[in-house]
Structure 1
Amino acid sequence: MSSIVQGLTKSLAITVLSEIGDKTFFAAAILAMRYPRRTVLLGCLSALTVMTILSAVVGWAAPNLISRKWSHHITTLLFFVFGILSLKDAIFGDGDEDELAEVEEELNKDLKANNGVKKNDSKVDDDLKKKQRPFLSQFLSPIFLKAFSINFFGEWGDKSQLATIGLAADENPFGVVLGGILGQALCTTAAVIGGKSLASQISEKMVALSGGLLFIVFGIQSFFSPVE
């Protein structure tokens, strides 16, 4: 039980500090301003849940492909690398406003390419239509698929995904999955509910600094922990 709690705690902390102010966080916030929030939230959370489970499975299988000693050392190295990179972003980064503008510009291009520029009255119509549709039918809507694909591919190769793989190789995979999903749910829900105003007020430098210090702490802990 203690191993599950430890894996959950580490995964939750790393996920929250990695995802706040991330591109997928901004994307969820902007999408929620243009489309029904519930559908956007379902799409984002579905993608992030699938990604978390896949990452944990890869991490769980890693010790079967290479020795547990090497997987432990690789995980420790990942913590230090991510910590240093996060601290570097906090000190030399351009800030979250540029990243928010970049994500918004990319989404605007995608909307124009697909003739998806929405007006306020059409958004209201969409909301009314969604309320009249069965809940399960929203999983087949273009909005759900857009939110799912943006978050799934946006997370691919991200440091939170790699950290999840490393944690699952060194901690209880079940706890890592629970912590990762809970962390993703908290961040995505905040982005969808808070919208762009919340996203624009987040200090990416402070988040990166906190995340970098946390990665370093976990790296030190992993370095002095015996290999089971």
Structure 2
Amino acid sequence: MSSALVPFFATFALILAVELPDKTLVATLVLTTRYRARAVLAGVSAAFAVQTTIAVAFGSVLTLLPDRLVSVVVGLMFAAGAIMLLREGFTKGENDEHDAARSGAAPVPFRRAAMTSFAVLFAAEWGDASQLATAGLAARYSQPFAVGLGAFLGLVCVAALAVFLGRKIRGRLRPRLIQRVAGFVFAGFSLFAFATALLG
């Protein structure tokens, strides 16, 4: 059990740090201003479950490859994530979606709101830094369940913060700074993976 705790907490902490300043929080926040909170949380959680499963499955397939090749692929995935995070962290301006937070929640049926939330977050997370990280960590640790659970809970926690705290969360954090730090962490993981491939 203890061997699974390390990948679980490592994944949870990394996903939480990556997604707090990312579009996941913003998109969920905007959806919450338009639809009921429970419907939004249900929809985005379902999207996260599907995306995490896909990422873990991809990472698990990587474990069938030679160790050196796995390290190279993992390094490339983390490098791609670092580039995305740093580019957004240094060039990101004020998001127009924040203006949508001024509108009230619309009386939309639960199912429709949940399906809309699912579609928005499923599209937003496809190929995102968190999905790349989940696949990379699944390949690195060979603990697909622990990594998948950690990633899923990290994403749900970010969504819950956006749903239940609303715009207050944006005022207390410096999203771009967190995004930059996460980008450098990804770059560090990438260098470590490449070093493992060269020295291994």
Identity rate, percent: 28
Equivalence for 1:61: 61
User: Is the CA contact 1:29–1:199 (under 8 Å) kept in the aligned structure 2?
Assistant: no
Is residue 2:188 matched to residue 1:217?
yes
Who wins on radius of gyration, i.e. which is larger?
A: 1
Query: Match for 2:131: what amino acid?
Result: Q
How many positions carry a matched residue from both structures?
Answer: 197
For 2:36 and 2:21, how far apart are their aligned partners in 1?
A: 22
Q: What is the aligned-residue RMSD (CA, Å)?
A: 2.8
User: Is the CA contact 2:55–2:134 (under 8 Å) kept in the aligned structure 1?
Assistant: yes
CA gap 1:159/1:167 in 2 versus in 1, 3 angstroms: same
Q: Which runs of 5+ in 2 are unaligned?
A: none
For 1:119 and 1:174, how far apart are their aligned partners in 2?
A: 39
Q: Which runs of 5+ in 1 are unaligned?
A: 109-117, 131-137
Question: Could you report, residue by residue, the CA deviation over 1:108-154 in whole angstroms, capped at 9, with x for unpaired residues?
Answer: 9xxxxxxxxx866x64xx6xxx7xxxxxxx4xx11010000100111
CA gap 1:212/1:52 in 2 versus in 1, 3 angstroms: same
User: Is the CA contact 2:62–2:70 (under 8 Å) kept in the aligned structure 1?
Assistant: yes
CA gap 1:43/1:85 in 2 versus in 1, 3 angstroms: closer
Equivalence for 1:178: 149
Q: Which gives a bigger RCO, structure 1 or 2 (Cα 8 Å, sep 6+)?
A: 1
Deviation at 1:211, TM superposition (A): 0.4
Deviation at 1:194, TM superposition (A): 1.4
Equivalence for 1:94: 92
Give the TM-score, by structure 2 length: 0.83
User: Is the CA contact 1:155–1:161 (under 8 Å) kept in the aligned structure 2?
Assistant: yes
CA gap 1:76/1:205 in 2 versus in 1, 3 angstroms: same
Equivalence for 2:11: 11
CA gap 1:60/1:158 in 2 versus in 1, 3 angstroms: same
